[in-house]
Structure 1
Amino acid sequence: MNTRVVTTTSTTPERGITTTPARRAPRLAGVVGLYFAVTTVSAGLIGSVQPLLRVDPVIIELVQFGPTLGVLAVLLVWRGRWRPPSAVRPIPSPGVLTRLVAVAAVCAGLLGAVIGAYALLGEDVRYTRPGALTHSFWLIAAAQFLGACGEEFGWRGFLQPYLRTRYGVLTTGTTVGLLWGVWHVQVFAAGPAYAAAFLLSTIAMSVIMAVLLERARGGHLIIAGTFHAVVNLGLLLLMPEEDGDVTAMTVFAAACVLAALVVLGWAGARGRVRR
């Protein structure tokens, strides 16, 4: 792959991201292309194995670990020559709790907006009691968090901080969200309207996470994984969006956009986001 010589320092636009001086940094397109290709192919292979393992996708979808394999592929290809910026630290910083409170507030507002939108449309929320699920809710919650971290290790633990060294928060969040959405190739089988709404939701959620993680001093994986898992659990209990329901996905996408605008406005008013 083509490479170019660059001069780097140990500081990046976002605190909490660890970098190492690069001798010959690869081109951005090469790194992102390899990561996305391995993430997509490995997720497809893992997904084909899940039925053989008889793992119920309600508990966890093994394809969620595809992004982790994508990161490992990048590290392996450029091993000893270049190391990408990392936002994953083994020990979270004290500021993680504050970010998690913000995650809880955003998730509550987002899911509340979904319920409100359903009420305005005259539709009934298809609420499923946790006790009525096919497996223990706490088992599902723990597995959902594990799976969410498997995804976020790649998207928010690697790709977001890597792009953030070159672009602003909004551009980074939008780009990661678009790739994240396209990676869910199965949504395109549900039709253009459903796929468009889904992509809009992933872009909006990615922007939200980009803002929440901006200037965070570690704990990115826990913060992003918690947001991802809580949203997934909320959808599991409230909506049939994974059944190809265009109305449900459109309502969810609109709620995500509204939440993203609120978060951007809040952060911008406090000077916490540098576009």
Structure 2
Amino acid sequence: MTTTAVQEKTLTRRRLVEFGVICMVLTWVPYLFLGVLKVDLDEPVGRIVFGLAASGPSLAALVMFLWHRERRRVVRWSLSWPIAAVVLGAAAPLIATALIGNLGELPGHASSVIAGAGGILGAAAYTLLAGPIAEEFGWRVYVQPRLRQYYGLAATTAILGTAWWLWHVPLFFLPGTGQYDDGLFTQQGLIFFLEIFPLTFLMLFVTERLRGGVPAAILLHAAWNLTTELVPPLGNGVWLELLAVTAVAGAAGWYWRRTLPA
């Protein structure tokens, strides 16, 4: 490796560390504030602080782009990646629901969830903002391409998936969140950790292989979040969801390798 290459790699690592510190400060400090002061997340102050904290990754990416005046990736617009992103994001929860025989309960449960969110537009807006837009400009626009400069698909998935999971950990200790209700050291907590990695690979697939960039990541993330809310509770069927998303990621990986240029 040349001196210039070593310097570039060192600079990339330093930028990733900077991003990580900014991201964690923007997220964990507000979460700590909410937890220590026992702020109700349903109150206006709680909603605002929580929303800013949940946007830590995207806000950290914005800070880095403005600070270092770095270039952003170009998206290849087509019909393939939007469809693929939605299908890949929704597939596993639907497959798990079908396997446990709960598809008949889906319409009623979905209608109840949508009504509780204020209708279809309310559910769609919340789904896009809470997670996809708040996070993906950080994870897929800033971190992922820099990891891919020096690591393969497996290593990038492992590193980014671990970072993504660690970023979520405070939510397991913050009352009022879904993660708090599930618990960290439970079956649901373990499934949450394990599912992060096939989801991270699927994000790689739609953003890099299909060249959908952050819009594809946002769509996939939104499709996953929305579908997991709309399907009836899976109970022990969450293991089937984990197997399904792992299989979907495996199929995407097989396709990726099969279509690599000779």
TM norm. shorter chain > 0.5: yes
**Aligned-pair distance for 1:108?**
4.1
Structure 2 contact 114–123 (Cα < 8 Å) conserved = no
Equivalent residue for 1:69, pick from 59, 62, 78 = 59
The percentage of counterpart residues that share the same residue type is 21
How high is the TM-score relative to the length of structure 1? 0.72
Which residue does the alignment assign to 2:125?
A: 142
**Aligned-pair distance for 1:192?**
4.7
- How far apart, CA to CA, are the structure 1 residues paired with 2:158 and 2:22? 21
Structure with more contact order per residue of length (Cα contacts < 8 Å, sep ≥ 6): 2
How high is the TM-score relative to the length of structure 2? 0.75
- How far apart, CA to CA, are the structure 2 residues paired with 1:260 and 1:215? 13
Alignment deviations for residues 112-135 of structure 1 (CA, whole Å, 9 cap, x no partner): 222133239xxx769331543242
- How far apart, CA to CA, are the structure 1 residues paired with 2:92 and 2:168? 21
- How far apart, CA to CA, are the structure 2 residues paired with 1:104 and 1:27? 32
Structure 1 contact 107–227 (Cα < 8 Å) conserved = yes
- How far apart, CA to CA, are the structure 1 residues paired with 2:153 and 2:15? 19
- How far apart, CA to CA, are the structure 1 residues paired with 2:151 and 2:167? 21
| Larger helix share, 1 or 2 | 2
- How far apart, CA to CA, are the structure 2 residues paired with 1:63 and 1:141? 21
Structure 1 contact 173–209 (Cα < 8 Å) conserved = no
**Aligned-pair distance for 1:56?**
6.3
Structure 1 contact 127–238 (Cα < 8 Å) conserved = yes
Alignment CA distance shift 1:135-1:266 (3 Å): same
**Aligned-pair distance for 1:23?**
7.3
**Aligned-pair distance for 1:214?**
2.0
Which residue does the alignment assign to 1:79?
A: 68
* Gap runs ≥5 in structure 2: 173-178
Alignment CA distance shift 1:184-1:24 (3 Å): closer
Which residue does the alignment assign to 1:161?
A: 145
Structure 1 contact 46–63 (Cα < 8 Å) conserved = yes
**Aligned-pair distance for 1:93?**
3.0
Alignment deviations for residues 19-58 of structure 1 (CA, whole Å, 9 cap, x no partner): xxx8795251x3333322322331234453855526769x
Structure 2 contact 92–242 (Cα < 8 Å) conserved = no
- How far apart, CA to CA, are the structure 2 residues paired with 1:63 and 1:239? 29
Which residue does the alignment assign to 1:259?
A: 248
Segments ≥4 residues shifted beyond 6 Å: none
Amino acid at match of 2:246: V
Structure 1 contact 5–25 (Cα < 8 Å) conserved = no
Alignment CA distance shift 1:155-1:23 (3 Å): closer
Alignment of 1:36-55 (within 5 A): 36-47=20-31, 48=34, 51-53=42-44
Matched, 1:31 2:22: no
Amino acid at match of 1:6: T
SS of 1:150's equivalent in the other structure is helix
- Structure 1 stretch 248-257 or stretch 156-165: which is displaced more? 248-257
Equivalent residue for 1:214, pick from 205, 208, 213 = 208
Matched, 1:6 2:28: no
Which residue does the alignment assign to 1:116?
A: 98
* Gap runs ≥5 in structure 1: 9-21
Which residue does the alignment assign to 1:170?
A: 154
- How far apart, CA to CA, are the structure 1 residues paired with 2:5 and 2:116? 54
Structure 2 contact 144–156 (Cα < 8 Å) conserved = yes
Matched, 1:203 2:197: yes
CA RMSD, 1 decimal: 3.6
Structure 2 contact 12–146 (Cα < 8 Å) conserved = no
SS of 1:214's equivalent in the other structure is helix
